[in-house]
Amino acid sequence: MRRASNRYLLSAALAAFAATALSACSLGIPEQQKPRVELPQEFRLPQNDLVTAFERRVGRIAVVAEDGNILVMDQTGGDVMRITRDGNRLMPGTDEALFYSLPVWSPDAKQIALVELTARRTASNATIEINPEAVVIQRGPNSMVIQQTEEGQMVQPVEPGMHIERRPQRVIIQRGSDGSEFVSSAVYLASADGKRPLREIFLSKTEDIPYLDWAPDSSHIAFLTQDLEDQTFGLNLVNTQDGARPRKLFEGASAFWSWNPDGKTLIAKVGASRGGADRLALVDTTTDQTTRIPTKSRLAFQAPHFSPDGGYMLITEATDNSDRHRLILADRTGKPVRTLTEFEGRISFAWSPAGAKLAYVVQSDQQEPGGPLTVMDVNTGSKKVISNKPVVAFFWSPDGQRIASFSRASSTDIAPDFKGFDFTPPLSVPYMLLETINPEDGSARGLFYFAPTQAFQRLASEFDRYSRSVNIWSPDSRKLVFTLTYGNSNGTRDYVLETEASGSINPRVIGNGSLAFWSPK
């Protein structure tokens, strides 16, 4: 099904995820037994309610909701459970508010780690307009209406929502803020069933937390901190048992890592400042013993990656030509085994969960993100370009049979016979094309052209990091979840869509939110 005309938009203060929560905080989700959030009437995508009622539920989906809270729901948008409830609420007696972001499932799907951000509203200016022709009112839980009457002013609270009012007979006050001031950030653990209270495992008043990553055995969490003073990044590790204290393993201009499937070892890549060589090291998380892997120059990749069996890893090394690098297959200690390919630029890669295949994108132009998507068989060395589009992010399905590919796009890229869904906006925002691709033969199914949410854009910009810790695929590899922005020049909202990877069934809007991840089981 394709809409043939009138393409409308489906569409940090501190950190990109937190910034999205701050910018969308005025649009809350009403609590109801089974929230059903739809696009505006002219863009609703029909569903068979009878089929929905009897379809098999697969896993659960964690959502960063518009009101700054974390929700968990099933693939239909039903059976909603609130993990947090105090997001986007001013703390009593202060001008500080809480927001939550980045809900990351533990591998056993029993817990969710999440980030809490506390921010203080800064001074703002007010624009006053008397009797405008029309006004778009975007109402949040803390918004107020000041109504002019003969007796004076009367202040009334309003409910969350958004609407256009024609010739309003009131004084309109629009609050414009220059941003928010960081107060603190924290990492919390929540039980996936919502039956236990949140447990704080880290708190900082000087560092932001842009990334969380569970150990494969769910025993530890590695998390990234960014010092807001000197902009350095730290790799931190904490045991998830009660009372355990986090420890900082590395600090540098950047920090990326990959867990070995044994859950006891990780490989860390720590960026050096001022042109120095990057550090590559193995960490035994049971003893904190660190083993340096020799490197001679800056490494031409962001995130390292252990193979599914834990026996190998992917790294790079420079060639004699300073502009070219080699993608190296190394053993679990970092010792090179053989060269897989040579490239020029920066490479982002990921192993197939099923075994000896890997996919990679080489970005040769730093000004233009993305590049062709290539799949290689590590055993034979054979490789195949499966997409020549500018792929900016990709995610293997859990069974390794498909790849979800996100590439840069524009409205002019959409062919008249495109058989997917066109949700491109009329505003100056980035577009993406979502395809699912068979890594064996390169056959692709185009699903959507859409405008990603700010949080999803951040995830895509470092997908080789985030693909190690979060899932946009359902556990059975049949469905996908992602977020997009929809609206027009009068206002936008963020939507969570669940869709069949085959594109054979209409996509389904399951809620409003900036980011969503599927549980691993």
The token pair at 55 is 């379809």
Q: Is 380 exposed, middle or buried (0-12, 13-18, 19+ CB in 10 A)?
A: exposed
What distance in Å separates the CA atoms of residue 505 and residue 521, rounded to the nearest whole number?
Answer: 22
Q: Can you give the pLDDT at residue 242?
A: 76
Query: Which pTM value belongs to this model?
Result: 0.81
Phi, psi dihedral angles at 240 (to 5 degrees): -85, 0
Residue 141 has pLDDT above 70, yes or no: no
Residue 264 has pLDDT above 80, yes or no: yes
Q: Is the dihedral of CA 216, 221, 226, 232 positive or negative?
A: negative
Q: Report the C-alpha gap between 346 and 339 in whole angstroms.
A: 16
Q: How far is Cα 455 from Cα 64, in angstroms, rounded to an integer?
A: 10
Mean pLDDT, range 350-379, rounded to an integer: 92
Is 339's pLDDT higher than 60?
A: yes
Asked whether residue 460 carries a pLDDT value surpassing 80, the answer given is yes
Q: How confident is the model at residue 45 (pLDDT cuts 50, 70, 90)?
A: low
pLDDT given for residue 411 in this prediction:
83
* CA nearest neighbour of 56 among 483, 400, 470, 476: 476
Average pLDDT over residues 262-269: 94
With left for phi above 0 and alpha for psi between -120 and 50, is residue 58 left, alpha or beta?
Answer: beta
- Give the Cα separation of 383 and 358 in Å (integer): 9
Q: What is the mean pLDDT of residues 11-38?
A: 37
151 pLDDT more than 70: no
Task: State the pLDDT at residue 98.
Answer: 87
Is residue 24 predicted with pLDDT exceeding 50?
Answer: no
pLDDT (0 to 100) of residue 490 = 75
DSSP, collapsed to helix, strand or coil, labels residue 75 as: coil
pLDDT of residue 273: 73
Is the pLDDT at 131 greater than 90? The verdict is no
* Proportion of the chain above pLDDT 70, given as a percent: 77
Q: Count how many Cα atoms sit within 13 Å of the Cα of residue 314 in the half-sphere of its side chain.
A: 27
What pLDDT is stored for residue 182 in this prediction? Answer: 85
Residue 69: pLDDT over 50: yes
Predicted local distance difference test score (pLDDT) of residue 12: 40
Residue scoring higher pLDDT (263 or 140):
263
In 133-278, which ranges are E strands?
Answer: 134-139, 144-149, 152-157, 161-166, 171-177, 180-191, 199-204, 207-214, 220-227, 233-239, 247-252, 254-259, 265-271
Average pLDDT over residues 185-194: 94
Per-residue pLDDT averaged across 7-36, rounded?
A: 35
The pLDDT score that the predictor gives to residue 5 is 31
Q: Output 74 or 21, whichever has higher pLDDT.
A: 74
Which tops the pLDDT comparison, 108 or 322? 108
Instruction: In whole angstroms, give the CA distance from residue 502 to residue 518.
Output: 17
Please, is 179 exposed, middle or buried when counting C-beta atoms within 10 Å of its C-beta (0-12, 13-18, 19+)? middle
User: Regarding predicted confidence, which is higher, 150 or 28?
Assistant: 150
DSSP 85: S
When pLDDT is cut at 50, 70 and 90, the band that residue 322 belongs to is confident
Q: Each residue of 156-173: pLDDT tens digit?
A: 444 444 555 555 554 445
| Confidence class for position 125, pLDDT limits 50, 70, 90 | low
**Could you report the per-residue pLDDT of 266-320, keeping only the tens digit for each?**
999 999 876 678 899 999 998 889 999 987 777 899 999 999 999 999 999 988 8
Residue 360 vs residues 226, 336, 379, 404, 439: alpha-carbon distances, Å: 27, 19, 16, 13, 12
**DSSP three-state, residue 443:** coil
Looking at the predicted structure, is the pLDDT value of residue 47 above 90? no
Q: Give the model's pLDDT for residue 34.
A: 37
Please, are residues 515 and 460 in contact by the beta-carbon 8 Å criterion?
no
Find the range with the poorest average confidence among 51-60, 202-211, 374-383, 468-477: 51-60
Least confident piece of the model among 101-115, 355-369, 431-445? 355-369
* pLDDT for res 158: 42
Q: Is the pLDDT of residue 37 over 70?
A: no
Mean pLDDT across the chain: 82
Question: What are the structural domains, with CATH classification, of the chain?
Answer: 16-122+179-518 (2.130.10.10), 124-177 (no CATH)
> Once rounded to an integer, what is the mean pLDDT over residues 476-490?
90
pLDDT band for position 18 (50/70/90)?
Answer: very low
Residue 129 pLDDT exceeds 70: no
> What integer pLDDT is reported at residue 316 of this predicted model?
94
- Per-residue model confidence (pLDDT) at position 211: 97
Mean pLDDT score, 442-448: 95
Residue 123 has a pLDDT of 55
Q: What is the pLDDT of residue 293?
A: 92
Q: Is the pLDDT of residue 517 over 80?
A: yes
Other Cβ atoms less than 10 A from the Cβ of 343: the count is 21
